[in-house]
Chains A and B, each alone.
Chain A
Amino acid sequence: MDLSDRRDVETEVYQPAEDSQLLAETACERIGRTAADSSGGDGDADADPPLVLEVGTGSGYVAHRVDAETDARVIASDLNPHAVRQAREEGLETVRADLVSPFADGAFDAVLFNPPYLPTDPENEWDDWMERALSGGEDGRAVIDPFLANVGRVIAPDGVVYLLVSSLTGVDEVVERAGEEGFSAAAIADESFPFETLTVLELFD
């Protein structure tokens, strides 16, 4: 990658930050544990590895860590053509998609999402790929709400969702919305910064 390519990527694809790291660590720990449980020691080694989808993968950082640190098969998707190209260069199985719309019913053991969550004044929207990666509309939930409305279709009966949420967006509001879509929610990790607290929610039926 030469310098101008790198500059394009940095302005068009969200690069990993504290939120990405928290989601990656939490997901690896949870998915790794599930995989160890299901392989059980009693020779259940033929069991298929868990199938994991990361929605809005951006640079592919979270998907790559789960791919490297667990035995899951990881699919990385994004709306952004620059992001899917970068994720594929990381060696990930990649799909250009709008949230979960092109995936089969009940396909995934886990779905991960670090959504665009910053509440944004519509007057100040800047309409490029980086804005799409960051802005959650006026209430910060413009992408989270349709995700919650649709993700239940693609998770397996015992499947889970790992969703990163910021205090800027409102964790209680997201939990309530998830409840309306039939999910129970548990906060399984959090980390505080000067201007926000990040929380990873585990959602399950």
Chain B
Amino acid sequence: MKESLLDILRCPLDKHELELEDAEYGDDGEEVVGGDLVCTECGERYPVDDGIPNLLPPDMREETPA
């Protein structure tokens, strides 16, 4: 993900802004490929998996149909 995506991403639970923590960058030094997006209000952490932010609410995150 591009860091500029943070401008339009919010915590799915309370719609507060997110901060990027423990960021890992790709070879170009710009693409965020790992890390956590952390809600500035409730502190919930959302992982960046292989460059894709997983903004599912925590109760849906583990849900995987057969």
Which residues of A does B touch, CB under 8 Å?
51, 75, 79, 81, 84-85, 88, 93-98, 101-105, 107-108, 127-129, 131-132
Contacts and interface: CB of A to CB of B under 8 A. Distances in A.
Contacts of A88: 50-52
Q: How large is the interface on B (under 10, 10 to 19, 20 to 34, 35 or more residues)?
A: 20 to 34
B12 A102 contact: yes
Complex A-B, nearest 10 residue pairs according to Cβ-Cβ distance, in ascending order: A102-B55, A101-B12, A102-B12, A107-B8, A96-B54, A104-B8, A128-B65, A97-B55, A84-B52, A127-B65
Given A84-B52, A96-B52, A104-B9, A129 B65 contact: yes
Contacts of B55: 95-97, 101-102
Contacts of B57: 98, 101
Interface string B40-65: 00000010011111111100100011
A160 B53 CA distance: 25
Interface of B: 1-2, 5, 7-12, 15, 46, 49-57, 60, 64-66
A96 B61 CA distance: 10
Contacts of A102: 9-12, 46, 55
Contacts of A79: 56, 60
B10 A85 contact: no
Contacts of A128: 65-66
Nearest to B50: A85
B10 A93 contact: no
B40 to A, nearest CB: 13
A93 B65 contact: no
A102 B5 CA distance: 11
Given A96-B55, A101-B57, A128-B65, 15 more contacts: A75-B5, A75-B8, A84-B52, A85-B50, A88-B50, A93-B2, A94-B52, A95-B5, A102-B46, A104-B9, A108-B8, A127-B65, A127-B66, A129-B65, A132-B65
A30 B15 CA distance: 30
B65 A97 contact: no
B56 A96 contact: yes
Given A79-B56, A127-B65, A104 B7 contact: yes
Nearest to B1: A93
A128 B46 CA distance: 24
A51 B8 CA distance: 10
Contacts of B8: 51, 75, 103-104, 107-108
A89 B62 CA distance: 23
